[in-house]
Amino acid sequence: MTGAAALEPGNESLTLIEKLVGFDTTSHKPNLELIEFVRDYLSDLSVDSVLVEDETRNKANLFATAGPEGEAGILLSGHTDVVTVKGQDWHSDPFRVTRREDRLHGRGTADMKSFIAVILALLPEFLKRGLKTPLHLALSYDEEIGCVGVRRLLDHHISGLEVKPMACIVGEPTEMKVVTSHKGKRSWRCHARGHECHSALAPSGVNAVEVAAELVTHLRRTSRRFQDEGPFDPAFDPPHTTVHTGTIAGGTVLNIVPRDCTFDYEIRHLPGEDAGAIQAELEAFAGDCLLPTMHAVDQEAGFRFEETSDFPGLNTPTDAAVTEIAKTLSGANATSKASFGTEAGLFSRAGIPAVVCGPGSIQQAHRPNEFITLEQVSLCEAFMRRLADRICQP
Ligand SMILES: [Zn+2]
């Protein structure tokens, strides 16, 4: 467990949590008001921000650096969006922090505005002491709908930095435990194209539904193989890579051999596994076992695969510098693995070693009456103060 901390967090943190939760930044909605608030807050502390907007200019990522320029530094990262409250039974206004005993209720209190609030609240302390190592802040939009913003932030800004941050801590709710590993996920849509004809003449057509079903069955076999043979990592639940088909649609009426069929599938893989190899296996099966007979009827028949999402897994070594740093700051003596995905995998893939460590519980994330305990906020403050001890002037 993490070390002892005062139960009552500072007023600055509490005020900023209230402020940030007050912006309705449900994914899909603009987040500019929140981003502009943070930019102005930083500007008042003489810290400049770079905004990386989306195409609509209704949303933006923010990147800011405090302390000396041209050095690697530590990056703290969080997303500004929250999941919808629609259809959930809230006992109070989700966009107004409501304190009940030692809990702060509100959308985003756990996932993950409290982390951002605590950083902002304690930043003046860092600046007053004087940073000898840079402290970077990265805030993204639309994490909850596919890590959309952070990809743009990485591509349009961070990848161009002369010196990249040497370590990234993503403050998703882990109850301040240090998470070094999570599964990755990739998904595809397959379009099967057959050859239409009257069903009485079925052998002279190519049945798109049936060839699609053969691929789905192949995926099912692959899934079974992972379940039976592994590889296994008991830190994950389930402890192996999973493959699953989620939707399928094809055909028009019963007496026509269907020309088109589309299905969606995903691979949630152990961080060390290569989802691309599983996809290549599927495409090889399609090419070797199905295409020749399809082409014998119609050269236009075939399959088209469209990748619909790509979230790299996270697999940061337990002895990596970033892990050591996060362990020291959180007071944790162990690391763990998470069942949920985060932006950390994308930072890691971009060459910035990353771990996940933030206040609040993932059990609360996305739920009605989401909350964070005051103790978690205090622990995050303690984390930040240890970071100040490490990267500020003595
Ligand atoms: Zn989150």
pTM: 0.88
pLDDT score at 88: 96
Beta carbons of 370 and 111 less than 8 angstroms apart: yes
| CA 59 to ligand 1 center in whole angstroms | 17
The pairing of beta strand 371-373 with beta strand 103-105: antiparallel
pLDDT category at 6 given cuts 50, 70, 90 is low
Domains in the chain (CATH in brackets) are 11-182+313-391 (3.40.630.10), 184-311 (3.30.70.360)
| CA 343 to ligand 1 center in whole angstroms | 9
Residues 222-250, mean pLDDT to the nearest whole number: 95
| CA 110 to ligand 1 center in whole angstroms | 8
Question: Does the pLDDT of residue 228 top 90, yes or no?
Answer: yes
pLDDT score at 340: 86
Cα–Cα separations (whole angstroms), residue 102 to 98, 99, 228, 376: 11, 7, 45, 10
| CA 288 to ligand 1 center in whole angstroms | 42
| CA 232 to ligand 1 center in whole angstroms | 26
298/195 Cα distance (integer angstroms): 7
What is the per-residue pLDDT across 161-170, written as a single tens digit (0 to 9) for each? 999 999 999 9
pLDDT score at 70: 87
Question: Does the pLDDT of residue 189 top 70, yes or no?
Answer: yes
What is the per-residue pLDDT across 253-279, written as a single tens digit (0 to 9) for each? 999 999 999 999 999 999 989 999 999
| CA 340 to ligand 1 center in whole angstroms | 9
| CA 111 to ligand 1 center in whole angstroms | 5
167/11 Cα distance (integer angstroms): 29
Question: Does the pLDDT of residue 206 top 50, yes or no?
Answer: yes
| CA 172 to ligand 1 center in whole angstroms | 5
What is the per-residue pLDDT across 112-139, written as a single tens digit (0 to 9) for each? 999 999 999 999 999 999 999 999 999 9
| CA 142 to ligand 1 center in whole angstroms | 10
| CA 138 to ligand 1 center in whole angstroms | 14
Q: What are residue 314's DSSP bridge partners?
A: 182
What is the per-residue pLDDT across 58-76, written as a single tens digit (0 to 9) for each? 999 999 999 998 899 999 9
| CA 144 to ligand 1 center in whole angstroms | 7
Beta carbons of 171 and 359 less than 8 angstroms apart: yes
pLDDT score at 138: 98
**Ion ligand 1 contact residues with beta carbon within 5 A:** 111-112, 172
